[in-house]
Amino acid sequence: MAKKTFKVKLPAKAAPERFRQELNDEQYLAVTHQKGPALIIAGAGSGKTRALTYRVAYLIDQGVPSNAIMLVTFTKKAADEMVHRAERVSGGHTQGMLAGTFHHVANIVLRKYAETLGYHSNFTIIDRSDQLDLFKLIMGQAIPKDQKTRYPKAADFSDIYSLAINQERQVDDIIAKEYPQYTELVNEIKVILQAYHDRKRATNVMDFDDLLVNFLVFLRTQPAADKLRHRIRHVLVDEFQDVNAIQADIVYEISRNAESVSVVGDDAQAIYSFRGADFTHMLHFLDKYPGTREYKLEENYRSTPEILALANASIAHNINQFQKILYTNRPTGEKPAVCPCADKELEAHFICQKILQFRDEDIPLYEQAVLFRAAYHRIALEQALVEYNIPYVVRAGVRFFEQAHIKDLLAYLCVMVNPVEQVQWTRILSMHPGIGDAAAQKVLSTFISEPNPLEAFVALDLATALQGKRVRAQGKTALQGLQQFFLQTACNPQDGSLLPPDQWSSLPELIELITKYITPFLELRYKDWKERAGDLRELGNFATKYHDASAFLSDILTTIPLKGESIVDGSEVEEERPLVLSTIHQAKGLEWRVVFVLNCVEGALPISRAFGDPAALEEERRLFYVASTRAKDYLFFTYPEFVPSYMVGDMIGRPSRFIEEIRGDNVFEEWDIEL
């Protein structure tokens, strides 16, 4: 029986007046006067996120139901924060708003409509490392052993595949331009890419690219999409400079009949072309919607004039960009400093001591950050931070869910949710002692083609099924344990049939059971197994928010809690909030009072791969720009003058060209760092 509902609506406040006070003229117009399409070109630190937040709040104030708003941002965390703040600003409710990354939004929609595209609704998502595993599996079957070295690595296959999809390019073209060494193998490579594609379909699996592609296909071909289009009246997209062709098309498709579509971006901060992003989509947007209103937010609220001057001087060397002149009304401050250090150790010591000095001057650690081009550049610094007893978090490298033990655990949930999934089965089987990759494939082949492989596995008489196949006795025994495990956790004990998800134990309990089961394996494999088991328990805590495993599995992939960052909020409230170490890419959208940019040498920033490629060098310069504009008050560039190298002996570290080319502009001071 349907319940009666009564919706309470909070009284509208005099929003425009209040917003008027809290925004500058450009922001105010962009927030309140938008109808139809709008392109907001916003410089670094210009409060574009603030403008978007206020726009959401404004719409809600105007009586737009929150589920009629779609807000797409670069990270899900950014979306959550924005929605939360919009809620506070407007005093309205934001429930039902479609908000998050493209991937997150796609996942939400596809969960509902997967069947219209020929998937089962319990499809699972694979991340990059699963993708690599799947490629390896296929390559193992398709490529003769002695030919292996001639072929691209799994990672190359993954990149080629991704480029083909995200830039809508032909495989021939990609190989000719980016992988000329494999030109002779084009046809063989295509066969493997096709096999990968087919295998995903057959096993009810989507990778990150599929989420986007299928979302677009859904919008273009399915009648049900009209319902969604009808509901979504206002579309807001942040970081539009980093969308790829498919994401841009998604925006166009979903906003076809919308009342407003606002996209915000800064071409100077486009740093994701390696995954198909292209800031010229901002231009295409103007073509696509001829009546587009353009707003420019050029006042920077973040940095001192000195820091801004350096950033402006640097980005001026990029030819390919929109014209923007950033200005600030902040009072004058310290000039940015370039600090050559004898070697990496000295560089690390300098940074640590400087950090402590700032802390003494009442700039807490969490208001300071150290940024770098590549995750491994931080290693020397980390050692020093430990010596100096400076607490820090790392936002780089391996994601929390990408760690082997986390993936081990998730594999069990995956198989229960989507039993036809082969990569996760392989992972589960081969973690048992006595079973390696080869044996896992043999075992897998005995049950994977059954309608329900999980039921088939539990019912399997291992002794007869594996007779004559070279599988160790130890492995066979171990697998009996696995059968028992699945029988007890996921199956009806009477007939061994797989229970429907609503009859499983609660998710945290399930995770605890799996943890218990796999801990002995972790103990065999890892020295630090205790910590890893601890991570798994934390994962159990995290899972209390979720009711079904399927949502949990997809969420954990689309919400990226990073390794090192606690996934349980509030667990370290008592301790000092730590210093942030981050790749420049991960620092996007963030700000600190003090920023150090590490290892600013030729070859690292810009990275040597970009040498000789003008477009790539411009992107590297944008990275330099992003790093510089994260700083509010103090900015340091450090680099080691001697770089040990096992290839050619020690090399002299030449300072980054991005520093050299602005030397004449008098925008930084050079410091002497001495022992």
Partner DNA sequence: AGATTTACTATTTTT
Partner DNA sequence: TAGTAAATCT
As a whole number of angstroms, the distance between CA 251 and CA 38 comes to 13
Given the complex with DNA, which of 149 and 494 has the nearer CB atom?
149
Nearer to DNA, 256 or 472 (CB): 472
Give the count of beta carbons closer than 10 Å to the beta carbon of residue 4.
5
Q: Check if the beta carbon of residue 429 is closer than 8 Å to that of residue 479.
A: yes
Q: Which residue has the tokens 């579309």?
A: 235
CA 295 from centre of chain? 28
Q: Which positions ≥6 away from 260 have C-beta within 8 Å? A: 34, 35, 36, 37, 38, 233, 234, 235
The distance of Cα 612 from the centroid of its chain, to the nearest Å, equals 29
The answer to whether the CB of 265 falls within 8 A of the CB of 239 is: yes
- Whether residue 88 contacts residue 55, with contact meaning beta carbons closer than 8 Å, is answered with no
CB of residue 609 to DNA, shortest distance in Å: 5
CA 480 to chain centre: 38
CB closer to DNA out of 89 and 478: 478
Query: Which tokens is 430 given?
Result: 């081969």
Is residue 86 within 8 A of residue 94, CB to CB? The reply is yes
Provide, rounded to whole angstroms, the least separation between the CB of residue 375 and DNA: 3
The residues, ordered by sequence, that sit 6+ positions from 279 with a Cβ below 8 Å of its Cβ are 241, 242, 265, 267, 270
Measured from the CB atom, the residue of 416 and 439 that comes closer to DNA is: 439
Adjacent-strand bridge partners of 263: 39, 237
The residue among 214 and 558 lying less far from DNA, judged by its C-beta, is 558
| Interior/surface letters 413-432, b for 16+ CB within 10 angstroms, e for the rest | bbbbbbbbbbbbbbbbbbbb
**Nearer to DNA (CB atom), residue 387 or residue 437:** 437
In the complex, what is the shortest distance from the CB of residue 407 to DNA, in angstroms, rounded to a whole number? 10
Interface contacts to DNA, rule CB under 7 A: 74-76, 101-104, 127-129, 132, 136, 149, 153-154, 208, 271-272, 274-275, 373-376, 396-399, 403-404, 433-439, 470-472, 474-475, 558, 560, 583, 585-586, 607, 609, 646-647
255 vs 599, beta carbon nearer DNA: 599
Write down the least CB distance from residue 358 to DNA, Å.
25
CB atoms closer than 10 angstroms to residue 314: 23
Q: Which is nearer to DNA, 349 or 378 (CB)?
A: 378
CB of 19 vs DNA, minimal distance in Å: 29
Please state the closest distance from residue 75 (CB atom) to DNA, in A: 6
**284, two tokens:** 């295409």
Looking at beta carbons only, is 211 or 309 nearer to DNA? 211
Closest distance of CB 441 from DNA, Å: 8
Q: At its nearest, how many Å lie between DNA and the CB of residue 294?
A: 27
* Amino acid making up residue 89: V
Minimum distance, C-beta of residue 436 to DNA, in the bound complex (Å): 3
Which residue number, 83 or 560, has a Cβ lying nearer to DNA? 560
**Do the beta carbons of residue 103 and residue 556 sit within 8 Å?**
no
Beta-carbon contacts of 556 under 8 Å, excluding residues fewer than 6 positions away, are 401, 410, 542
CB of 382 to DNA, least distance (A): 10
**Whole-number minimum distance, CB 560 to DNA, in Å?**
5
Q: How far is the CB of 289 from DNA (least distance, A)?
A: 25
Amino acid (1-letter code) at residue 621? R
175 vs 181: CA distance, rounded Å:
8
DSSP annotation of 480 = H
Collapse the DSSP code of 377 into the 3-class scheme (helix H, G, I; strand E, B; otherwise coil) and give the result.
helix
User: Least Å distance between CB 376 and DNA?
Assistant: 5
Q: What is the DSSP letter of 506?
A: P
* Nearest CB to DNA, comparing residues 342 and 374: 374
Burial label, 531 (beta-carbon count in 10 A; 0-12, 13-18, 19+): exposed
CB nearer to DNA: give 76 or 233: 76
Nearer to DNA, 45 or 589 (CB): 589
Least separation in angstroms between residue 297's CB and DNA is 24
Distance CA 91, CA 184 (A): 62
Distance CA 56, CA 651 (A): 53
274, 242 contact by CB (below 8 A): no
Nearest residue (CB) to DNA, 49 versus 90: 49
Work out how close the CB of 562 gets to DNA at its nearest, in angstroms, rounded to a whole number.
8
Distance CA 259, CA 54 (A): 17
Report the distance separating Cα 194 and Cα 316, nearest Å: 44
Q: Cβ of residue 615: shortest distance to DNA, in angstroms? A: 12
Q: How far is Cα 31 from Cα 26, in angstroms, rounded to an integer?
A: 9
**Amino acid, res. 196:** Y
Decide whether 437 or 665 has the Cβ nearer to DNA. 437
| DSSP H helices in 491-630 | 507-525, 529-543, 549-558, 614-628
Work out the number of other CB atoms within 10 angstroms of the CB of residue 383. 13
Residue placing its CB nearer to DNA in the complex, 364 or 644: 644
- Least Å distance, CB 239 to DNA, is 10
Residue 311 or 444: the one with the smaller Cβ distance to DNA is: 444
Query: Percent helix, strand, coil in the chain (nearest 5)?
Result: 55, 15, 35
Token pair of 29 as six digits: 């117009």
Identify the three-state secondary structure at position 248.
helix
3-state SS, one letter per residue, for 596-651: EECCCECEECCEHHHCCCHHHHHHHHHHHHHHHCCEEEEEEEEEECEECCCCCCCE
